[in-house]
Amino acid sequence: MSSSFQTLLPLMQTRWRQGRRMFDSRTLNERRLIIVALAALSWFLLDATLVTPSFKKFHVASERYKDAKLARDALQDEVERHKRERAIKEIEAQQETKRIKERIEQSKQAITEQQAMLAPAREMRSLLEGLLNQGVRLQLRSMRTLPPEEVKFTPIPGVAISQALLYRQGMELSVSGTFLETLEWLRAIESLPRKLLWDGLTLKADADGVVTLSMTVHTYSPDRDALEIAP
């Protein structure tokens, strides 16, 4: 390789001297044109081989960066939007839970107030028998308890009540006597300080004028156990 270079070196030097003499033999304007042409050729080659490809790569990279930045910003905006929506939903859920708890407490308070106005379930028998023994000459023919019935309340959206809040405790009884005595006994029930509710009242009279009154008496209690009063 060194021998080839040594052979080409004199030839290159000869060519350079020839070109230099040809360049020097030109007029000033021609030399300027040659310099401008060589500079333009050099710039063209530099642009074709280095500048333009590099600029294209830079442009592509810039576009990719812009797209990635836009995608990142869009993702961040979406994440922030979800966070805001979740925070709003949590606040709404907390407020709704608070309102539901307040309605439950109001319902419990109303039930307690109403229950305080009614006779306790386990005192129904003693109250009724006490009224029969207060100078009223009625004869108790039968008295039996009824199975407790769960009181159905209007459901509150979003609240699952695991157990009933109130039960209807009732009993069926039958007494006999004169019409005025049965009427007086009903009035005495209605006059109790703590009320007993009654319904399903029937009256039957025999040929001797003895009236048999049958009715269902009930009250409300949170106790689900039956009263266990024998027939």
Element (H, E) at 221: strand 211-221
Which of 61, 87, 116 marks a domain boundary?
116
pLDDT by position in tens, the chain (length 231):
556 656 666 777 676 676 677 766 767 777 677 777 777 777 777 777 776 777 777 777 788 888 888 888 888 888 888 888 998 988 888 888 888 888 778 767 766 666 666 777 777 777 777 777 776 678 888 888 888 888 776 665 555 554 556 788 888 989 898 888 888 888 888 888 778 887 888 889 888 888 998 988 888 877 776 555 444
The answer to whether residues 132 and 209 belong to one domain is: yes
Question: What is the β-pairing status of strands 167-177 and 139-145?
Answer: antiparallel
Q: What is the CATH number of the domain that holds 148?
A: 3.30.70.60
SS3 state at 48: helix
Residue with tokens 């409300």: 220
* Nearest residue to 193 via CA among 139, 123, 134: 123
The answer to whether residues 1 and 112 belong to one domain is: yes
Helices marked H in the chain: 2-25, 28-46, 52-116, 124-132, 179-190
Cα end-to-end span (Å), the chain: 130
SS3 state at 162: coil
Helices marked H in 117-148: 124-132
The answer to whether residues 104 and 26 belong to one domain is: yes
Q: What is the pLDDT of residue 111?
A: 65
Question: What residue type is 13 in one-letter code?
Answer: Q
The answer to whether residues 94 and 2 belong to one domain is: yes
The answer to whether residues 125 and 105 belong to one domain is: no
The answer to whether residues 103 and 185 belong to one domain is: no
- With respect to residue 77, please indicate whether it lies within any of the assigned structural domains: yes
pTM over 0.75: no
The answer to whether residues 187 and 203 belong to one domain is: yes
- With respect to residue 83, please indicate whether it lies within any of the assigned structural domains: yes
The answer to whether residues 164 and 200 belong to one domain is: yes
The answer to whether residues 108 and 25 belong to one domain is: yes
- With respect to residue 18, please indicate whether it lies within any of the assigned structural domains: yes
- Cα–Cα distance between 173 and 170 in angstroms, integer? 10
User: Containing domain of residue 23, as a range?
Assistant: 1-116
DSSP summary character for residue 50: I
The answer to whether the Cα torsion of 108, 110, 112, 114 is positive or negative is negative
Which of 58, 87, 116 marks a domain boundary?
116
Q: With contact defined as beta carbons under 8 Å apart, do 219 and 197 qualify?
A: yes
- With respect to residue 228, please indicate whether it lies within any of the assigned structural domains: no
